[in-house]
Amino acid sequence: MFEITAARRANLKNDILSGLTVALALVPEAVAFALIAGVEPLVGLYAAAIVGFITAVAGGRPGMISGATGALAVVMVSLVAQHGVQYLFATVVLMGFIQILAGALRIARFIRLVPHPVMLGFVNGLAIVIFLAQLGQFGTEDGVGWAKGTFLEGSIVDVAWLPSAELTVMLGLVAVTMIIIRFLPLLTKAVPSSLAAILVVSLAVIGFNIDTKVVGDVASIAGGIPDFHIPTVPLTFETLRIIFPYALILAAIGLIESLLTLRLIDEITETRGNGNKECFGQGLANTVTGFFGGMGGCAMIGQSMINVNSGGRGRTSGISAAVFLGIFILVASSLIEQIPIAALIGVMFIVVIGTFEWSSFRIIRRVPKQDAFVLITVSAVTVFTDLAVAVIVGVIISALVFAWNHAKEVRVEKRENRYGSHYYTVHGPLFFGSTASFSEQFTPKDDNNDVIIDFADSRVADHSGIEAIDALAERYRKNNRTLHLIHLSPECKTLFKKAGDMVEVNVVEDPNYFVAIESAFDEDDANR
């Protein structure tokens, strides 16, 4: 009993301390993403606090951190620029409803269709995005970036670097932060190393009066309790026409990023989250956020990695992160604004190092070329566009490669049996990709009068396969050949039009194909 109680106390302590670490790292990220979206910093901070709290309570992945993210911010910017912030709030509310509906429809199961190379590309691409997002902190607001006049002008790496003295100090503080995070766990694990690094560097900057950029230089985070209000937009079909496309895209991006992050945290912690519950939690959080003046959000892989690496495993870690962030906004903004940006950058650089799958460099020559291509493509698309597009592109490429490879597997063996009939045996799946190859392997004009086609070793997978068999039956009919189709599944037999009277039924030998469905207890029920 004592050991169980002690373990619970240790877990609670780890959750609270890791939550404090995450809250500190959330401040500049939320501010930066709000500025990207074209809204006030407090809009991003409110979103981080509200979304983080509700998803920690109602979501399906304990230990995962949610808040305002860059993937959503880049979609919001055009909406805010064209229609104003109130349309953004209405869009976030509708986005939440769509995500709740997705949870009710149990679409989280489809995340299983994301291949492993796509997952690796997602992780690597997101690590690169997190790294590039920090570069802007090393620049001045009004300066001209080094990419002026090049194809990189205006991009995320087009940074007007700080003067050499300031840049050297900042880089030095980043290095100190990273060294503390890396080596402190070798001495003690009583305090999360990220939190200790932020505190040590902050005290050093204040104590030695070091001139460097702090959180207060980026934006003021002081604010009050957000008020509930219904977005002031016309309740008309025209408003729905404007916000629905944005809401749909935001909901899709949010769910994809959240479910992939959930899957990653599952692997790291060797536990299992509930995808459909996470969809509901994200939807509820965004619906509420829209009514309280927040920009909406989803799971954050960087902050989730900080939380997990700092020992945060339970829901208390996410709840405490949101509560601490709320305290920062309400009463402790003056203290938080003194934290050096360099300390937070150092934390994020450690996250980048831990998130990037360095093993992909080692295995890229060993895996099939198409998998390596998918990995690299998804990484690149994630960096240059956004996560949702990258994942969709990766899945489409993987599906096309799969179809192409299996299209070559269908083969037909031809022989003449002792009764003088030509006997064809079909091997491999018959689907849209293999129908052309299937049809080319039959010769109705040259075959004997009696022809048998055996499908015992073949699986007719879709309607294209059915149509190919129907077309083949019609070719034999036109050539006055008697055709027998044997060992087809009952599902196929009911769909034939032209070949219906040529199908022979063998109750004993005919195959039954079953469609795999979710069992009563599956991975989505694991945390119920």
Neighbouring CB atoms inside 10 A of 212's CB total 18
Pairing of strands 298-299, 66-67: antiparallel
CA distances from 233 to 227, 228, 229 (A): 17, 15, 11
Does the pLDDT at position 275 exceed 50? yes
Does the pLDDT at position 523 exceed 90? no
CA distances from 40 to 83, 221, 357, 517 (A): 15, 10, 35, 47
According to the per-residue pLDDT averaged within each range, which of 43-57, 222-236, 298-312 is highest? Answer: 43-57
d(CA 428, CA 411): 7
Task: List 411's β-bridge partners, or say none.
Answer: 427
d(CA 254, CA 351): 21
**pLDDT tens-digit map of 100-113:** 999 999 888 887 77
Q: Quick one: average pLDDT of 504-523?
A: 46
What pLDDT sits at residue 93? 96
Query: 451: which residues sit within 8 A by CB, 6+ positions away?
Result: 421, 422, 423, 424, 444, 476, 481, 482, 483, 484
- The alpha-carbon radius of gyration of the chain (Å, integer) is 29
Cα distance between the two ends of the chain: 25
Does the pLDDT at position 430 exceed 50? yes
d(CA 126, CA 111): 18
Q: Quick one: average pLDDT of 337-357?
A: 85
d(CA 353, CA 457): 49
Q: Quick one: average pLDDT of 423-450?
A: 90
* Lowest mean pLDDT segment, chosen from 148-157, 307-316, 335-344: 148-157
Structure confidence at residue 91 as a pLDDT band (50, 70, 90): very high
**pLDDT tens-digit map of 191-210:** 778 888 889 999 999 999 99
75 token code pair? 């979609």
Residue type, 448: N
**pLDDT tens-digit map of 118-176:** 888 878 887 887 788 788 788 776 555 555 545 455 555 566 677 888 889 999 999 99
Q: Is 135:156 a contact under the CB 8 Å cutoff?
A: yes
pTM of the model: 0.70
Does the pLDDT at position 424 exceed 90? yes
Structure confidence at residue 301 as a pLDDT band (50, 70, 90): confident
Neighbouring CB atoms inside 10 A of 2's CB total 6
Task: List 340's β-bridge partners, or say none.
Answer: 214
Packed helices 275-291 and 41-58: angle between N→C axes, nearest 10 degrees? 140
d(CA 259, CA 110): 10
What pLDDT sits at residue 359? 81
Displacement of CA 33 from its chain's centroid (Å): 18
Q: Quick one: average pLDDT of 348-372?
A: 83
Does the pLDDT at position 512 exceed 50? yes
Q: Quick one: average pLDDT of 91-100?
A: 96
Sequence ranges of the domains in the chain: 2-397, 408-502
Q: Quick one: average pLDDT of 245-251?
A: 91
- Indicate the burial class of 525 (C-beta count within 10 angstroms; 0-12, 13-18, 19 or more): middle
Structure confidence at residue 240 as a pLDDT band (50, 70, 90): very high
CA distances from 55 to 97, 258, 337, 377, 497 (A): 15, 11, 26, 31, 52
Does the pLDDT at position 515 exceed 50? no
Q: Using alpha carbons, select from 397, 415, 377, 307 the residue that is nearest to residue 16.
A: 307
Q: Check: CATH 3.30.750.24 for 408-502? A: yes
